[in-house]
A and B are shown apart, each in its own frame.
Chain A
Amino acid sequence: MSERSAAQGKASGRPLVALFATCLVDLFRPSVGFASLTLLQRAGCEVVVPPEQTCCGQPAYNNGDRAAIIALAKQTIAMLEPADYVVIPSGSCAGMLSEHYPRLFDGEWHDRALAVASKTFELTSFLRDIAPLPTPEKLHPPSGKVAYHDSCAGLREMQVREQPRALLKSTCGVEVVELQQRDVCCGFGGTFCAKMPEISAKMADDKLKDAASTGATILTGGDLGCLMSLAGRAQRTGQNLEMRHVAELLVGDQDTPPVGGAD
């Protein structure tokens, strides 16, 4: 993040938020990035999108290659330091910055990682707990019931549980229908789904079955990885369930095709 954009934010008197879009949103679903941007601006934040951002490094880290992501983590920490807050539309990547970056380092970089960790938030928890999203006009609720998929890192590392549900209710009048096993993993697990595809598919099937039994036609969530994996499995098995990121629902974006949907 440049000195100039940091200075601009500080001058406005509004909280300066660095939006870390995540690599999946960057590469596969920019609409989630733009929805996040809009939401943060509506919440009265000065938002910057640091141009150096790439990936938080989870793939290598979770496969046990800490050394490979040291340079990447330093770059990410340094880029986010000038902001008042770091907001990420993913519980998993937010968890990586909050919980795991500090463990990569000792000494000075450990302190710097901790400082960034302490101001890092998952998008919906930020919009609920830190910079409340105003609700001037109710958006058109999506047609059909909406179920919410709690991603594991959001749930356990970032304490995201009720925030997205409350926002969906206040912003689009959506009363989320609940899955029976809310706290069970969907089987994505980053590279896990490629290393153990059959077990991963079984877990996805369980999640899809759970979602289908609620009568929901839309399954939303805060992590694009889970949604891509579930959408891909639903399509392969011929299940009709739309996956959309919660940020898209919160800005009323119903034009963008669902994850994996035709243009």
Chain B
Amino acid sequence: MNRKNKNNIHMEDRQGKPVDSMALDDEKRIKILSPGLLVFKRFIRNKLAITGAIFILAMFIFSYFGGWLMPYREDEVFTKYVDMSKVYAAVSENTEYKFITTDNTEFPMIARSQFVLASNNDRNLFESQGVSYSIEKLADELFVVFNTREVAVVSIILGNTNVALSDPSMGPSFIERLEEAVDAGEETFTYNDKKYLLVQGKKNYLAYELEPLALATLNRYDFISADISVSYDFAFAMELAMHELMETGEKSRLITVGGVEYEMEVEEEKASIYLRNNGDRTLYANISRYLVESIYQDVFISIDFKDQVKAMMSEGVEGVQDFVYVNIDGEEEEYTIERNNTEWVIRWIEDTLVIKAYDPPSKEHIMGTDGNGMDILTRLMYGGRISLMIGFIVVVIETMIGIILGGIAGYFGKWVDNLIMRIVDTFNSIPSLPIIIIIGAMMDAQRVDPKIRMIYLMFILAFLGWPGIARMVRGQILSLREQEFMIATEATGLSVSKRIFKHLVPNVIPQLIVISTLSLGGVILTESVLSFLGLGVKFPFASWGNIINAVSNVHVMTNYLFVWIPAGFCILITVLGFNFIGDGLRDAFDPKMKR
């Protein structure tokens, strides 16, 4: 009698027909449940199993629907603007000579250092890399460097002056001038607008032709625009004028360089140069001992700003001092200045774009962000998908291998069973975690793509995980095949594959479900351990294991609990859920164990 008929009878009974003639063992009195329903009833009576089912359902909804609802992507990096005090410029007193060379000449670095040595030792001639140079001291810490060429040797023997020219192009008038200079005891002389130097040797004089090369000064020139650079002629005139003004105590003076009229005003050790144009004057440059340099290559610091800074420094800076600079557009900019040994550091507050690393939970990021500035909640959801997916795929593969090999071994017995069981024993003895670690380390070194890596991981886990299932299937089938229904299948002449997979395997399904559910939890655990070690699922893919990986940094472990605690509980709850369900299913399928 099938179920439908039974129900019909029942319905008729309820429609008022007398039922007094029903016997105690009448079929109608007993509510017959299908085996599946029985298992289900026993399952839902188990509180732990229900808890587990709720856990798993919750994790599924969380991972799949959550990831779908979340507005963020798995690997979306969040950034924010932060006011950061950054170094803007540094000010220092200039202690190194700046060399302002004439047009189209070169003053090599080595020669520059030779100059410093020579000037410190008060020598006026020095040589570098086969080139001779001479120095003329204009004032304290102000020199002109010349390219020097020997032109003549003047020897005086018994009152007779004898001139040997190195350069035959020099005419007799030059020799005359030279002799005159020697007689007068001049050190330098001019001839034809060129400067010459006379150096007295032991018995003779050496004459050198001087070609101006560079002006060496400790002063720095700040111009109103970044395009203007200082020229030799300009600097020469300005330095001289400035020096004279400081000596005489005058306040200002007019200077003409290259047809342009400038006005210089001197105050203490600073000088301002104005461009004069029909009686108007505009600021053109400043000269001072201070070097104000921005740490940014492309930033030109205006002359006003420099003036303001210099003024502050001459008043003396104590501690950290705030100041406001009004720029050309009339906007106020805030800076701080601080003395740092021989340097002054100017900082400003800058809006800086930074990654939101370890942002605590907020409205925008309910669970905060991780070290890469990614939303933890989103990553937990996607991580759940990956962990669950890996778990399911691995279990499906290992169950299939297990059913096939276990089924064949159990059904055929004898040497087939022996062979397969030895294979099972062999695989069972292979230490799986170390092998996966070795392969993971190797894939790390070979830079295997994270996606391909994940596929490898699944296959390796499945390949090493099937022996337990095969052993269980084989054991069950060994006992099942002795039962009457198997003799019946043999009698009806069913094919072997049909007998195994249609009649034997379905009878193993309850145990299979139990063992698969339990191994699902195990696979997820293994995967999380590997990802935690950095050898499993890799960035950019999220996995609960690799989220917890952040704790390898003790600072994160102690200060950012919100980064790793939720992921840990996700793993715990999921694995616990599978274990509760597996446990409950085992009890439900095998009531003998319970009662």
The finding on whether chains A and B are genuine partners in a shared complex, rather than unrelated, reads: no
